[in-house]
Amino acid sequence: MAKCEYCGKSVSFGIKVSHSHRRSNRTWKPNIMRVKAVVNGTPKRVYVCSRCLRSGKVTRAV
């Protein structure tokens, strides 16, 4: 469920390369948090990434 409801950032895939150059698949997961935010004037629990929280795209409900 690692997906931001505001920017759509989700899991990305790549290849892990060891020192001996053996390759295996790996994932990078975004820093998703469940926060209480103001959506359309009412407080609601949403899943957002830390980048959206820090940049001010999401206003937290007090």
Q: Does the pTM of the predicted model rise above 0.85? A: no
Task: Specify the pLDDT at position 12.
Answer: 96
**Residue 51 to residue 37: CA distance in whole angstroms:** 15
Q: Please report, for residues 18, 22, 40, the alpha-carbon distance to residue 60 in angstroms, rounded to integers and kept in the order given.
A: 41, 44, 12
In this prediction, residue 46 carries a pLDDT of 95
The pLDDT assigned to 42 comes to 93
List the one residue out of 3, 27, 5 whose CA is nearest residue 15. 27
Q: How many residues does the chain have?
A: 62
SS3 of 61, please?
coil
pLDDT at res. 15: 98
Q: What is the pLDDT of residue 62?
A: 82
pLDDT in tens, 3-60: 999 999 999 999 999 999 999 999 999 999 999 999 999 999 999 999 999 999 999 9
